[in-house]
């Protein structure tokens, strides 16, 4: 499963969820993961589902 943190490059396009607050963000492959909108620290995102 694809994972990432703010400032890292998105490995696969998809919907990602912050493991701390559950906030979902849409990320595009090759772009950079954003900070969590709810300002969690040490954010890790995990992919919920892939998008095309
Ligand atoms: Zn969060």
The pair of three-digit structure tokens given for residue 24, joined into one six-digit string: 């979902």
- Give tens-digit pLDDT for 12-52: 999 999 999 999 999 999 999 999 999 999 999 999 999 87
Would you list the domain boundaries of the chain? 3-50
Which pLDDT belongs to residue 32? 98
Q: What is the pTM of this model?
A: 0.92
Which pLDDT belongs to residue 12? 97
Q: How far, in Å, from the CA of 41 to the mean position of ligand 1? A: 8
Neighbours of ion ligand 1 (CB under 5 A): 18, 20-21, 23, 36, 38, 40
Angle at 44 between CA 11 and CA 48, to 5 degrees: 60
Counts for the chain of helices (H) and strands (E), in that order: 0, 4
Q: Please tell me what DSSP assigns to residue 10.
A: P
- Give tens-digit pLDDT for 3-22: 999 999 999 999 999 999 99
């Amino acid at each position: 499963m694809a994972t990432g943190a703010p400032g890292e490059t998105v490995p696969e396009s998809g919907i990602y969820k912050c493991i701390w607050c559950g906030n979902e963000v849409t990320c595009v492959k090759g772009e950079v993961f954003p900070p969590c909108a709810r300002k969690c620290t040490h954010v890790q995102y995990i992919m919920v589902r892939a998008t095309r």
